[in-house]
């Protein structure tokens, strides 16, 4: 019998986690969001406040619905507050060591039947799962940025993920208004494996001064109908995140398309991470 999912724990409320918390609360679920400290909680509240404000301004829902959405989210810095949730989505930074320690802790806190899902975009879900005593209940649920807007969720099954877990997570994604696709555990899954070679190539064209950033972006927007050009998209994703994804895929496949273009590392070292730091290929207010 399918699991009833009424409440969700979201661990890590950065860009992706905050977006996932928002979309779950918008669809009637109770959300417990976990961050490491009060400063990060305040940042997550602000992120969700701004995002829902944009949605109200864009006519997606009204102020009353926004207030109800916000009331469905509680924030905590204690993982033990996830003891009663029906499903957990982890969205902390892309470090296997960090994720392993969170999953080991979740295993102690959550009921045995609870699904432990990771929003990882490039790490191995199998490797994350073996750090729990219930790898069959571990699955990838990979959302896209901005999570409240992008329809795709990639569901990543490992060789030991139980079929009912995959089915329940697909139903969960549909309940959030998303389009799930199911894939095996390979770096980049579907979308990033196809997308990041293109983004990396654009960064390399920019680096060699082949074309200006505006012209590179304009070509893909006006020539191919993409909603934003590749350099603007790298800024949205975050250059540090993009670099980690490329590096992981390159390590796994040795495909030169994914060997990170040097300018990415240089920009990261200089603190130009994209929108989140106020400057990347472009500058933001």
Q: Residues in the site for ligand CAA, rule: CB under 6 A?
A: 51-52, 54-55, 58, 60, 121, 144-146, 148-150, 192, 227-228, 233, 237, 241
Least CB distance to ligand CAA at residue 108 (A): 28
Q: Which residues are CB-neighbours of 258 under 8 A, at least 6 positions away?
A: 188, 196, 197, 200, 246, 249, 250
4 in catalytic set = no
Least CB distance to ligand CAA at residue 54 (A): 4
Closest CA to 8 of 21, 26, 19: 21
Query: How far is it, in rounded angstroms, from Cα 1 to Cα 282?
Result: 50
Determine which one of 22, 35, 90, 154 is catalytic: 154
Helix, strand, or coil here: 73?
strand
Q: Residue 196 burial by CB count (10 A; 0-12/13-18/19+): exposed, middle or buried? A: buried
Determine which one of 118, 119, 121, 122 is catalytic: 121
Determine which one of 90, 142, 200, 247 is catalytic: 142
Prior bond of 146 cis (ω within 30°): yes
Residue length of the chain: 285
- The residue nearest ligand CAA at its CB is 58
124 in catalytic set = no
Determine which one of 192, 200, 244, 247 is catalytic: 192
53 in catalytic set = no
127 in catalytic set = no
Q: Which residue, 83 or 228, has its beta carbon nearer to ligand CAA?
A: 228
Least CB distance to ligand CAA at residue 215 (A): 18
Q: Which residue, 81 or 253, has its beta carbon nearer to ligand CAA?
A: 253
Q: Which residue, 86 or 185, has its beta carbon nearer to ligand CAA?
A: 185
Helices 239-253, 191-207: axis angle to 10 degrees equals: 110
CA distances from residue 180 to 7, 12, 167, 277 in whole angstroms, order as listed: 20, 22, 10, 31
Least CB distance to ligand CAA at residue 101 (A): 22
The catalytic site residues sit at 121, 142, 154, 192
């Amino acid at each position: 019998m399918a699991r009833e999912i009424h409440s969700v724990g979201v661990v890590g409320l950065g860009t992706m986690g905050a977006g996932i918390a928002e979309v779950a609360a918008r669809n009637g679920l109770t959300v417990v969001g976990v961050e490491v400290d009060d400063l990060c909680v305040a940042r997550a509240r602000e992120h969700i406040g701004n995002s829902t404000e944009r949605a109200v301004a864009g006519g997606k829902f009204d102020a009353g619905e926004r207030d109800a959405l916000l009331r469905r989210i509680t924030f905590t810095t204690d993982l033990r507050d996830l003891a009663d949730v029906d499903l957990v989505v982890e969205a902390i930074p892309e470090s296997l060591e960090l994720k392993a320690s969170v999953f080991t802790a979740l295993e102690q806190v959550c009921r045995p039947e609870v699904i432990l899902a990771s929003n990882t975009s490039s790490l191995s879900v199998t490797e994350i799962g073996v750090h729990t005593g219930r790898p069959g209940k571990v699955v990838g649920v990979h959302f896209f940025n901005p999570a409240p807007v992008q329809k795709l969720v990639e569901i990543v099954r490992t060789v030991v993920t139980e079929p009912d877990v995959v089915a329940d997570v697909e139903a969960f994604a549909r309940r959030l208004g998303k389009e799930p696709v199911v894939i095996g555990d390979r770096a980049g899954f579907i979308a990033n494996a196809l997308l990041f070679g293109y983004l990396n190539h654009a960064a390399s064209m920019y680096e060699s001064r082949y074309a200006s950033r505006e012209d590179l972006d304009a070509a893909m927007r006006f020539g191919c109908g993409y909603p934003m050009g590749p350099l603007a998209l790298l800024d949205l994703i975050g250059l540090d995140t993009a670099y980690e994804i490329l590096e992981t895929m390159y390590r796994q496949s040795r495909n030169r398309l994914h060997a990170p273009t040097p300018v990415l590392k240089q920009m990261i070292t200089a603190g130009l991470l994209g929108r989140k730091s106020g400057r990347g290929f472009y500058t933001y207010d």
